[in-house]
Amino acid sequence: MKAAGSWGHARVPGDSNPRCAQGVHGERGAHREARDSIRANRAGMRARDCDQGRGGDGAREPIRRPCGADGRAVRSEAGMRRASAAARLTRALRSEALKLRRSPLAPLHLALALALGLAAGAYFGYAPWDSLLGADAFFQLLGAGAPLLAGLSCGLALDAEREAGECANLLGVPSRRIALAAKAAALWALGLSAAVVAALAFFAPVAAAGRATPPLATCLAAAGGVAAGSIGLYVVLTWTALRFGRNAAIGAGALGFLLAMGSMGGLANGLVTGTLSGEFGVELAAFLPFAWPSRLASLTVELAVAGQLGAAGQESALVSAFSQVAVTCAILTTALAAVSLARANRYEDRRRAGE
């Protein structure tokens, strides 16, 4: 009897389907098919158990727990929405960052910050004025200029969006709320960077000249006060530029600059009179959004230098003024942001209403 094949299975006479004809590879394929079939059946049973399904009377049965196609529990719908919103916001912020890299706004902010900081630092480094009061005057000017800078940024950025495609990147997306929030946040971050650069550019030449200066940490905190007080401005001016156009936003920013300086008694009022003017007219200025950046910055500096200027008796009044402005700013900024976000998805551009 001969061996039938290399596997050594014997051929049986009359057997038309010998085992050697199938071979080991055929048996393995059959096992794989059976195993895959069992797994598919188990997955189908799990999905059927956690699916809505229908009862015997045709009524839809309630879902007891959310399941995926493989029977595993998945996140709740609210959790998925939050994760999706966070992912979209991250993508929107990344997109705005890329736009700013190619925009003239970034070099404009840098040039303005360096010019203002270095010029003021060089002047107060050698001028006969008290350098501590000079620092106070500088941060008052920096904060008063924040509305104007915000108006320029929002006006030019929204004008570029309109020219690029009728604001399609803001209004033609699934969530206008996220797109507009990312735009305002990116422009605000640019303003924050400019305030920090200006503070450093002012501090360096004054310190190099050997004049008295507020601590570097105080200067950076004052720059942070400028940025914190500007959040509401970027919210309002973004809407202004979107609804009324570039010139309206820039004009509103220029008006804010004048109001902020006027609320403190004019440019360099404290420097000329030799007083700490951050608390001047604070009862009204606390409710004037254009004045928040200059007041928060100035009061931060004055609290740090009051002792050196022999005005330690004013510290309690300065703390009270700072608290009043900060609390009012926080409450009204939160309200402005909430109203803006609530209306964002309902906004329609009236310029395109007839199309």
The 3-class secondary structure across 109-162, one letter per residue, is: HHHHHHHHHHHHHHHHHHCCCCHHHHHHHHHHHHHHCHHHHHHHHHHHHHHHHH
The whole-angstrom separation of Cα 9 and Cα 20 is 6
Over residues 56-77, the mean pLDDT reads 48
The pLDDT confidence band at residue 38, using thresholds 50, 70 and 90, is low
The pLDDT confidence band at residue 234, using thresholds 50, 70 and 90, is very high
Which of 131-135, 263-267, 299-303 is predicted with the least confidence, judged by mean pLDDT?
263-267
- With a cut of 70, say whether residue 352 has pLDDT above it: no
Which of 24-38, 54-68, 98-112, 260-274 is predicted with the least confidence, judged by mean pLDDT?
54-68
Q: What's this model's pTM, rounded to 2 decimal places?
A: 0.74
The whole-angstrom separation of Cα 232 and Cα 192 is 13
- With a cut of 50, say whether residue 63 has pLDDT above it: no
The whole-angstrom separation of Cα 280 and Cα 120 is 23
The predicted pLDDT at position 286 comes to 94
Q: Are 241 and 249 in contact (CB under 8 A)?
A: yes
The ranges assigned to domains in the chain are 34-53+61-74, 84-347
Q: In the 3-class helix/strand/coil scheme, how is the chain assigned residue by residue?
A: CCEECCCCEECCCCCCCCHHHHHHHHHHHHHHHHHHHHHHHHHHHHHHHHCCCECCCCCECCCCCCECCCCCECCCHHHHHHHHHHHHHHHHHHHHHHHHHCCCHHHHHHHHHHHHHHHHHHHHHHCCCCHHHHHHHHHHHHHHCHHHHHHHHHHHHHHHHHHHHCCHHHHCCCCHHHHHHHHHHHHHHHHHHHHHHHHHHHHHHHHHCCCCCCCHHHHHHHHHHHHHHHHHHHHHHHHHHHHHCHHHHHHHHHHHHHHHHHCCCCCCHHHHHCCCCCCCCHHHHCCCHHHHHHHHHHHHHHHHHCCCCCCHHHHHHHHHHHHHHHHHHHHHHHHHHHHHHHHHCCCCCHHHCCC
Over residues 12-21, the mean pLDDT reads 45
pLDDT in tens, 128-166: 999 999 999 999 999 999 999 999 999 999 998 888 777
The predicted pLDDT at position 55 comes to 44
Q: Which residues pair with 67 in a beta bridge?
A: 73
Query: CA angle 223-135-107, nearest 5°?
Result: 45
The pLDDT confidence band at residue 77, using thresholds 50, 70 and 90, is low
pLDDT in tens, 320-336: 999 999 999 999 999 99
Over residues 172-178, the mean pLDDT reads 80
- With a cut of 80, say whether residue 9 has pLDDT above it: no
Q: Are 67 and 51 in contact (CB under 8 A)?
A: yes
The whole-angstrom separation of Cα 193 and Cα 85 is 26
Over residues 218-244, the mean pLDDT reads 95
The predicted pLDDT at position 101 comes to 86
Which of 224-238, 261-275, 278-292 is predicted with the least confidence, judged by mean pLDDT?
261-275
The pLDDT confidence band at residue 345, using thresholds 50, 70 and 90, is confident
